[in-house]
Amino acid sequence: MAASIIDGKAISEKTRDEVLQEATELKARTGIVPHLAAILVGNDPASQVYVRNKERACEKAGLRSTLHRLPETTTQQELLTLIQQLNSDASVHGILVQLPLPKHIDSVTVLDAVHPLKDVDAFHPENVGLMLQGRPRFLPCTPAGVMKMLQVSNVQTAGRHAVVIGRSDIVGKPMAALLMQKGADATVTLCHSRTTDIRRWCLEADILVAAVGIPEFVKGDWVKPGAVVIDVGINRVEDRLVGDVEYSPAAERASMITPVPGGVGPMTIAMLLRNTLTAAKMI
Ligand code: NAP
């Protein structure tokens, strides 16, 4: 039987509506309009699209956004100076540094410079630590979006085996952390490029999360019949976007699956809006 589709677009729209409603209430009560400051360095075409989408999403959800565009030649010190200004600007609640940064800039130094209370991407070590301890201030957007999709789709995680492929700081590691937290209670296996026989682990997954960055890396026959498949990957192949999972054969075996596009991607932006609202409520 073919899998049912977890519609990230629909779930994200509902989340955005909730943010709009809460932002409207916050403004009526306090006059505060949650404000996201985005920083884009250079001319990477994909980054420009991502930042534009985030700006539009803010506008629709009743949030203010300001884009700081800096040239490719910006020095690390110039970028750090801008971040310090935004850190001390009381009208700014969230700061987003669009990645990737040009090669001459050290991303870790830059991301560490964002004030932890304005770190709406949840990349700062303080926020990563709080999340790992199960008392999050902000949840990392993509993994939080996945958790929301599982919850809305009534996917039971407790006691089930979740396999995450990928161990990046942005997706894989926090994804595994959220799935194993008390409350989610999955038993988690984390696979990466040095894992031997990934197929075997995939075949044991009740919940399979692919965050590899290789088009159609997970083959359809690696999916355990009845598994829930979450495809985080976004890969441009010629003129179309494909995920990290071989979609059609995987959908034949899975009970639920996320499409690409229209799956995890829209959820990431919705969670960024949620974090910006949370940041504004913290003052
Ligand atoms: P990343 O930083 O490149 O990490 C990829 C991970 O996959 C690494 O941990 C790597 O292992 C692992 N890997 C690479 N080749 C492998 C192999 N042959 N077998 C097993 N594991 C392998 O990528 P990322 O930032 O996590 O992103 C992953 C994908 O998600 C990309 O397609 C990206 O575009 C997409 N993404 C989507 C969203 C969204 O909103 N939907 C958000 C962020 C990212 P090692 O650590 O051993 O190198």
Tell me whether residue 54 is one of the annotated catalytic residues: yes
Number of helices (H), then strands (E), belonging to the chain: the values are 10, 11
Amino acid at 250: A
76 in Cβ contact with 109 (< 8 Å):
yes
Taking CA atoms only, the protein residue closest to ligand 1 atom 41 is 265
Taking CA atoms only, the protein residue closest to ligand 1 atom 20 is 193
pLDDT at 1 > cutoff 90: no
Q: With 0.85 as the threshold, say if the pTM is over it.
A: yes
Atom of ligand 1 nearest to the CA of 192: 21
What is the reported pLDDT for 264? 98
Per cent of the chain over pLDDT 70 is 100
- The DSSP element (H or E) to which 17 belongs, if any, is helix 8-30
Atom of ligand 1 nearest to the CA of 171: 26
Q: Is 36 strand, coil or helix? A: strand
pLDDT at 9 > cutoff 70: yes
Q: How far is the CA of 84 from the centre of ligand 1 (A)?
A: 30
Taking CA atoms only, the protein residue closest to ligand 1 atom 5 is 212
Mean residue pLDDT of the chain comes to: 97
Q: What is the pLDDT of residues 219-266, one digit of tens each?
A: 999 999 999 999 999 999 999 999 999 999 999 999 999 999 999 999
What is the reported pLDDT for 17? 98
Whether the domain at 31-117 and the domain at 140-265 fall into the same CATH topology: yes
Tell me whether residue 7 is one of the annotated catalytic residues: no
243 in Cβ contact with 223 (< 8 Å):
no
What is the reported pLDDT for 283? 83
Name which of 181, 230, 184 is nearest 205 in CA terms: 230
At 84, list the tokens: 């310090």
Domain at 31-117, CATH class: alpha beta
What is the reported pLDDT for 117? 98
Q: How far is the CA of 210 from the centre of ligand 1 (A)?
A: 8
pLDDT-based confidence at 218, cuts 50/70/90? very high
Q: What is the pLDDT of residues 177-203, one digit of tens each?
A: 999 999 999 999 999 999 999 999 999
Q: How far is the CA of 22 from the centre of ligand 1 (A)?
A: 33
Residues 6+ apart with CB under 8 A from 248: 220
Q: How far is the CA of 212 from the centre of ligand 1 (A)?
A: 3
Domain limits of the chain?
31-117, 140-265
Residues 6+ apart with CB under 8 A from 218: 165, 202, 208, 210, 212, 229, 231, 244, 245, 246, 250
Of 121, 206, 231, 244, catalytic:
121
Tell me whether residue 48 is one of the annotated catalytic residues: no
Phi and psi (nearest 5°) for 244? -90, 0
Taking CA atoms only, the protein residue closest to ligand 1 atom 34 is 234
* Ligand 1, CB cutoff 6 Å, lining residues: 142, 165-168, 170-172, 191-195, 198, 211-214, 232-235, 244, 264-265, 268
92 in Cβ contact with 118 (< 8 Å):
yes
Taking CA atoms only, the protein residue closest to ligand 1 atom 12 is 166
Sequential DSSP letters for 169-216: TTTHHHHHHHHHSTTT--EEEEE-TT-S-HHHHHHT-SEEEE---STT
3-state secondary structure 42-69: CCCHHHHHHHHHHHHHHHHCCCEEEEEE
DSSP for residue 245: B
- The fold for domain 140-265 equals Rossmann fold (3.40.50)
Q: What is the pLDDT of residues 115-125, one digit of tens each?
A: 999 999 999 99
At 82, list the tokens: 């801008």
Of the CA atoms within 13 Å of residue 97, those in its CB half-sphere come to: 28
